[in-house]
Amino acid sequence: MKLHHLLTVLPFIGVLVCIPFVNTVKPYVLGLPFVIFWMVMWVVLTSIIMWIVYKIDPANRESETQ
């Protein structure tokens, strides 16, 4: 499997698979309950990961050079 395919799976794992393991109110992180912080963190990380996938995807490199 290619790297950009593996990177697209990370947000799915972080949000849907790991949520039962982090479903706690305490501790508070940045004033948020931990589960809310976890979801907000993955929203930000998903944007960053998708930008990385866009940059390393060979199909996008070909369109940038034309």
Q: What digits encode the pLDDT tens for the residues 33-44?
A: 988 899 999 999
For residue 22, the enclosing domain spans: 9-56
Residue 8, judged by CB atoms within 10 A of its CB (0-12, 13-18, 19+), counts as middle
Is the residue at 52 inside a domain? Answer: yes
- Domains in the chain, number: 1
Q: What is the dihedral of CA 49, 1, 38, 17, to 10 degrees?
A: 150
Share of the chain above pLDDT 90, in %: 20
Is the residue at 45 inside a domain? Answer: yes
| Model confidence pLDDT, tens digit, residues 4-18 | 888 888 889 888 888
Residue 33 to residue 57: CA distance in whole angstroms: 36
Is the residue at 28 inside a domain? Answer: yes
Q: Which of 1, 5, 16, 7 has its CA nearest to residue 45?
A: 7
Q: 3-state class of 1 per DSSP?
A: coil
